Amino acid sequence: METSFVSLLLTAGFAFLVINAMLVSASILVYAERRVSGFIQNRPGPNRVGPLGLLQPFADVFKFVLKEDIRPAASNLFIHSMAPVIMVVIAMSTAALIPFADGIVVADLNVGVLMLLALTSISVYGITLAGWSSNSKYSLLGGLRSAAQMVSYELSMGLAVISVVLVAGSLNFMDIVNDQASGGALLGWNVVRNPIGCLIFITTAFAETNRAPFDLPEAEQELVGGYHTEYSGMKFGMFFLAEYVNWFVASFFIVTLFFGGFLIPFQPQILSLVPALEGSTLLAILQFASLMLKVSFFVFVFIWVRWTFPRFKYNQLMTIGWKYLLPISLVNALVVAVGVYAFDLIGL
Among the listed ranges 17-25, 112-120, 211-219, 326-334, the one in contact with other proteins (CB under 8 A) is: 112-120
Among 26, 106, 147, 320, binds other proteins (CB under 8 A): 147
Hey, is 104 helix, strand or coil? strand
Contacts of 180 (CB under 8 A, 6+ apart): 168, 188, 189, 190, 260, 261, 263
- The answer to whether 197 and 160 are in contact (CB under 8 A) is yes
Residues in the chain, overall count? 348
Among 15, 89, 104, 118, binds other proteins (CB under 8 A): 118
By the rule CB under 8 A, 117 interacts with other proteins: yes
By the rule CB under 8 A, 171 interacts with other proteins: yes
- The answer to whether 261 and 177 are in contact (CB under 8 A) is yes
When the beta carbons of 171 and 196 are compared against other proteins, the nearer one is: 171
Q: What does DSSP assign to residue 45?
A: -
By the rule CB under 8 A, 122 interacts with other proteins: yes
Among 91, 140, 157, 176, binds other proteins (CB under 8 A): 140
What minimum distance in Å lies between the beta carbon of 69 and other proteins?
22
- What are the beta bridge partners of residue 104? 101
- What are the beta bridge partners of residue 101? 104
CA-based Rg of the chain, rounded to a whole angstrom?
A: 21
CA 294 to chain centre: 14
By the rule CB under 8 A, 151 interacts with other proteins: yes
Q: Where are the alpha helices (DSSP H) in the chain?
A: 2-40, 56-66, 77-95, 112-133, 137-168, 173-179, 190-193, 195-208, 220-223, 233-258, 267-273, 281-306, 314-318, 326-345
By the rule CB under 8 A, 109 interacts with other proteins: yes
Among the listed ranges 22-30, 109-117, 202-210, 295-303, the one in contact with other proteins (CB under 8 A) is: 109-117
When the beta carbons of 48 and 137 are compared against other proteins, the nearer one is: 137
Draw the binding track, 26-65, toward other proteins (x: CB under 8 A; -: no contact).
----------------------------------------
Among the listed ranges 30-38, 49-57, 123-131, 255-263, the one in contact with other proteins (CB under 8 A) is: 123-131
Q: Is the peptide bond before 213 cis (omega within 30 degrees of 0)?
A: yes
Among 33, 154, 218, 230, binds other proteins (CB under 8 A): 154
What minimum distance in Å lies between the beta carbon of 225 and other proteins?
18
Exposed (0-12), middle (13-18) or buried (19+): which is 327, by Cβ within 10 Å?
exposed
Draw the binding track, 70-99, toward other proteins (x: CB under 8 A; -: no contact).
---------x--------------------
Q: What does DSSP assign to residue 169?
A: T
Which residues, numbered 221-280, are part of the site for other proteins (CB under 8 A)?
none
By the rule CB under 8 A, 121 interacts with other proteins: yes
Angle between helices 233-258 and 77-95 (to 10 degrees): 30
Among the listed ranges 61-69, 113-121, 182-190, 310-318, the one in contact with other proteins (CB under 8 A) is: 113-121
Among 8, 10, 24, 111, binds other proteins (CB under 8 A): 111
By the rule CB under 8 A, 125 interacts with other proteins: yes
- The answer to whether 194 and 258 are in contact (CB under 8 A) is yes
Contacts of 159 (CB under 8 A, 6+ apart): 200, 326, 329, 330, 332, 333
Among 22, 106, 115, 157, binds other proteins (CB under 8 A): 115
- The answer to whether 171 and 177 are in contact (CB under 8 A) is no
Q: How many chain residues are in contact with other proteins, going by CB under 8 A? A: 24
* Contacting residues toward other proteins, per CB under 8 A: 79, 109-111, 114-115, 117-118, 121-122, 124-125, 128-129, 132, 140, 143-144, 147-148, 150-151, 154, 171
